[in-house]
Amino acid sequence: MRDIWLAEDDETLKKGCIIDFHKCSGNGGQKVNKTSSAVRLIHQASGLSAEDTKERSQVRNLSNALKKLRLRIALKIRNPITEKSPLPVLSPPPSMTNVKVYSTALALMLDRLMDRSWDIPAAAEVMNISKTKLTKLIFRDPAFLLEVNRGRSEKGLPPLQNPVK
């Protein structure tokens, strides 16, 4: 189901959510406590939630919350690897600004990493990329790195550390 949710357009994904508009502290100056521009989404099928309060516009906060929800689904829901499991498209590397494409690639990379017990060289080999390229993809996204290190910790492996300081 995860891959279907990630492929859905924003309107369809939104229909599967409970949407809560509320007032929240943050940007907006005098307007902040007068309008309910903060948005919280609860994805009913997965139970995952996302919230955004950064903008004064309810519409922009809703759009940002949908992006956050897609990424949260990609980070938290794993699919077991089968013979029909797709490989992530990593050439060229997916742009992090295209959340729909990036979240799908992220989910598929995490599936492969989990399937290979969070072993970077083994997962890279299965994805037909170099260990260095996979490591660079992991380190460019702090949430991705956090999830990889969480999985490695569960397997008793040391956390990945950025060699470039």
Same domain, 158 and 93: yes
Give residue 28's pLDDT.
54
Same domain, 103 and 66: no
Same domain, 94 and 157: yes
Number of domains in the chain: 2
Same domain, 87 and 59: no
Task: Look up residue 86 and give its two tokens.
Answer: 């797709």
Give residue 79's pLDDT.
94
Same domain, 72 and 88: no
Give residue 19's pLDDT.
94
Same domain, 90 and 17: no
Same domain, 55 and 87: no
CATH number, domain containing residue 69: 3.30.160.20
Same domain, 62 and 122: no
Sheet holding 38-43, edge to edge: 17-22, 38-43, 49-52
Same domain, 143 and 158: yes
Per-run averaged pLDDT (10 residues), the chain, 165 residues: 94 95 66 72 96 89 95 96 91 92 96 97 96 95 96 96 69
Question: HEC states along the chain?
Answer: CHHHHHHCCHHHHHHCEEEEEECCCCCCHHHCCCCCCEEEEEECCCCCEEEECCCCCHHHHHHHHHHHHHHHHHHHCCCCCCCCCCCCCCCCCCCCCCHHHHHHHHHHHHHHHHHCCCCHHHHHHHCCCCHHHHHHHHHCCHHHHHHHHHHHHHCCCCCCCCCCC
Model pTM score: 0.88
For residue 25, which amino acid is it? Answer: S
Task: Look up residue 93 and give its two tokens.
Answer: 């590397």
Same domain, 34 and 110: no
Domain of 14, in residue numbers: 2-76
Same domain, 61 and 120: no
CA distance linking residue 14 with residue 21, whole number of Å: 13
Give the domain-ending residue among 76, 99, 114.
76
